[in-house]
Amino acid sequence: MMPVEFSILGECVIRAGDHAVTPASPQLFGLLLLLGIEHERPWTRRELQEYLFTEPASEDAAHRLRQLLYRLRGLGIPLDGSRRAVVALAKGTFACPVELLERLPLPERASLRTARFEVLPGHRPKLSRVMEDWVEGVRDRIDARVRSVLLNDLRKCREQRDWRMQVQVAEVLHERDPSNAEVLEALAEGLALTGKADAALDALDRFIQSGEGLEDSVATARKMRGRIAKSRVTQRATTFRGREAALAFLEAEWRRVHDEGTRLGIVIGPPGMGKTRLAQEFAASIRLKGARVIQHACTAHSATSAQDLFRCILPALREMRGSLGAAPEYCATLDLLVPQLPGVRLVDSTTNARTLKDELQDALIDLLGAVTTDAPLLLVVDDSHLLDASSTATLLRLAASRDAARVHILCMSRPREAWVSAPSATRDVAIHVLAPLSEREACALLDDVRSRASSPEEVSPSDIVVRAGGNPFFLQALAAHAWGRLHSGESFSVSELADSTYFSLTDDERCVLECCLLLGAQATIARVRDLAALESDGLLRALRSLEERDL
């Protein structure tokens, strides 16, 4: 049976095999529309004549309808002959254009522009008044279904944090319905989170100044505009891929903070697995919703400085709304970390170290409780495996005294015994281990990188996916090395190497790597062995480990 393709989204043509029917043949096109769109309705000949002709009761109208039906058979379009009194297409002939649209993969559907979703563009039938009304009704019904499909796509993009695809879908919906507050919010959010804050502010300004939105929608748009203006996000070259489970974990923990109090969430993964990117994506989306966020990145020196985390974030905590509600008796204790006034604060000589440690923890928890009275706080600690012992102890105590404050502590850590053993047994600490990207997720990320490569055909993508082993950083570094300089200007840099891998090396591995960097092109096995002062077995183990890390 020959399928009949009703291409009425973005164009006006009905195809049957090699034949195409357009509005240039108004009666034939109208007849096919009636029989296809209303394929479940049994049409009598008199009803069809009323739709297709201005004088439906005349003999001429009946004759012309018979001629149209003959033409359908001549085009090879099968009609249902089981009921002589009615006219209908044979079963299975009609395929709903919206259902065909739904079968497209989401990325392909999101790439379509607004004109592609217009129903029967430019078609104004001059057959009869009832036909004109029917076509307008069809437009409204199909348009509503198309909007429903796109809205579902938009919500799915927001759930998956695919901001670029979210912007594509939201732009189409916003052009079709500029007063839809949900679409506007999604558009502004997506633009802001892809580094296009100015475009997001422009979209919000147009909505606010248009006067078309409801009062509540305009108020929401004003609040969102203020949040976007305060927080700028750096544009990312690649889409965030394969971390839906991790984001769902963080969202669930954030909701629990609202209801239950302080939570400590630990995301564990090896270097290059995307911990920092995950924290940045989550913090940016939370900040756009109006939440307060403090982000701190530990360094190699953090482990040698007591309470280094809180020493760094204390000034920001003191500036927050609600900090004046902290207990006055703790001010002197907090000044031991960061004095508010010039001068040196002396410690009472009668106070032992244990008591001072407890007082400092009490003071910090009291301050966090004061600033989170009205709204919770997200505290992101990146590279938390480098935290000093006293900061770690304070975080664990804060999580244990969950009712004292409402803080979501998000620690991004490499595997660390202190995080994996004791905290995992408590009800206030949740641990999520980042898994390597699946092959499908790695290929999707590689497609993003490939689109910016200057010579993307030199190395097989499958080879890069296998060598990267599901590690996003290694995948992008290997692609950049294999495919030449990326258009964004990214390159494999020593700073990225240090941030992602250097501190995870053993002493021997680090020594060998530094010797190789020092010797450069003059490096040989013998020279590196002499310079590093290593035995042959130790040198070979270090070299093998460095090779396995693609270094």
Q: Which CATH number fits domain 244-433: 3.40.50.300, 1.20.140.10, 1.10.3720.10, 3.40.50.10300?
A: 3.40.50.300
CA distance 424 to 427: 8
410, 250 Cβ separation under 8 angstroms: yes
Residue 367: pLDDT band with limits 50, 70, 90: very high
* Alpha-carbon span 358 to 485, nearest angstrom: 53
Interatomic CA distance for residues 520 and 497, integer angstroms: 16
* Torsion sign, CA atoms 155, 157, 160, 161: negative
Whole-angstrom distance, CA of residue 5 vs CA of residue 16: 6
pLDDT for 490: 43
Distance CA 338, CA 125 (A): 77
Look at 225-229, 358-362, 366-370, 527-531 and tell me which has the smallest mean pLDDT: 225-229
Q: Which residues of 28-59 are buried (b: 16+ CB within 10 A; e: fewer)?
A: bbbbbbbbbbbbeeebebebbbbbbbeebeee
Q: How confident is the model at residue 291 (pLDDT cuts 50, 70, 90)?
A: confident
Closest to 475 in 3D by CA, of 445, 453, 513, 495: 445
- Per the CB < 8 A criterion, the answer to whether 247 and 277 are in contact is no
| CA distance to 81, 383, 400, 550, per residue, from 413 (Å) | 71, 5, 20, 22
Q: How many residues does the chain have?
A: 551
Does residue 33 carry a pLDDT above 60?
A: yes
Both tokens of 108, joined, read 């392909």
**Cβ proximity of 460 and 274 under 8 Å:** no
- Partners of 380 in beta bridges: 295, 410
Q: Average pLDDT for residues 68-75, to the nearest whole number?
A: 86
For residues 167 and 173, the answer to whether their CB atoms sit within 8 Å is no
> What local confidence, expressed as pLDDT, does residue 417 receive?
57
Residue 478: other Cβ atoms inside 10 A: 21
Give the rounded percent of residues in the chain with a pLDDT score beyond 70.
Answer: 86
Looking at per-residue pLDDT, the higher value among 282 and 1 belongs to: 282
Residue-range domain boundaries for the chain: 4-135, 142-230, 244-433, 439-548
Q: What is the pLDDT confidence band of residue 458, given thresholds at 50, 70 and 90? A: low
Rounded Cα distance between 272 and 471, Å, is 6
- Pick from 271, 30, 364: which is nearest to 22 by CA? 30
Q: Per-residue confidence at 123, pLDDT binned at 50, 70, 90? A: confident
Beta-carbon contacts of residue 534 (< 8 Å; ≥ 6 apart):
508, 511, 512, 542
Q: Which CATH architecture has domain 142-230?
A: Alpha Horseshoe (1.25)
Give residue 418's pLDDT.
54
